[in-house]
């Protein structure tokens, strides 16, 4: 399963979109954000949707903090943190920090991603794509920031 997640990053950075699509189930659901253009139903639709990544001259996707929660022998819920660096043709860059929340299933062809949802922890000023923020608890009532880190 680890290779599945690494291959996703590898194929996306190489723009090998058909290889990337093969990592997903034929009926997958992929939601990178609330905008319908950031959502796909089915592996072939995903490959077409990700053609938008050609607007970047280079990308570098990194996964860490991966947690697998198995649901029987043939399925798992997976959370992984993603840092995705993007460079435009003019040399400017945009980076996003977020999470992938996946449903992975065992198929005859091996483990495949059946559902992927992305959530944003943060980004630099260069990243303007609207991605659903990670939910975060509010501070307790009456909490005041200490007079440090300002």
In this structure, the dihedral spanned by the alpha carbons of residues 2, 111, 114 and 78, taken in order and rounded to 10 degrees, is -30
For the residues of 18-36, what is the DSSP string, one character each?
Answer: HHHHTTEEEEEEEESSSSG
Residue 83's pLDDT is 96
Give domain status of residue 149, yes or no. no
Residue 111's pLDDT is 97
Residue 127's pLDDT is 77
Answer whether 0.75 is exceeded by the pTM. yes
41 within 8 A of 25, measured Cβ to Cβ: no
Give domain status of residue 131, yes or no. no
Give domain status of residue 150, yes or no. no
- Secondary structure class of 91 (helix, strand, coil): coil
Give domain status of residue 85, yes or no. yes
Question: Residue 52 belongs to a domain with what CATH number?
Answer: 3.10.450.50
Give domain status of residue 129, yes or no. no
Residues written for the chain:
150
Digits of tens for pLDDT over the chain (150 positions)?
899 999 999 999 999 999 999 999 999 999 998 889 889 999 999 999 999 999 999 999 999 999 999 999 999 999 999 999 999 999 999 999 999 999 999 999 999 999 999 999 988 877 777 788 888 888 889 898 888 765
Residue 40's pLDDT is 95
Residue 150's pLDDT is 55
């Amino acid at each position: 399963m680890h290779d599945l997640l690494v291959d996703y990053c590898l194929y996306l950075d190489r723009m090998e979109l058909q290889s990337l699509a093969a990592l997903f189930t034929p009926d997958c659901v992929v939601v990178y954000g609330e905008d319908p253009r950031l959502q796909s139903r089915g592996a072939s639709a995903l490959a077409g949707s990700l053609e938008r990544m050609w607007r970047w001259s280079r990308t570098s996707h990194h996964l860490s903090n991966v947690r697998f929660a198995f649901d029987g022998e043939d399925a798992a819920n997976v959370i992984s943190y993603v840092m995705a660096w993007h460079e435009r043709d003019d040399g400017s860059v945009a980076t996003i920090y977020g999470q992938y929340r996946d449903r992975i299933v065992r198929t005859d062809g091996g483990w495949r991603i059946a559902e992927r949802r992305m959530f944003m922890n943060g980004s630099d000023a260069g990243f303007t794509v609207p991605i659903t923020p990670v939910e975060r608890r509010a501070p307790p009532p009456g909490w005041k920031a200490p007079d440090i880190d300002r």
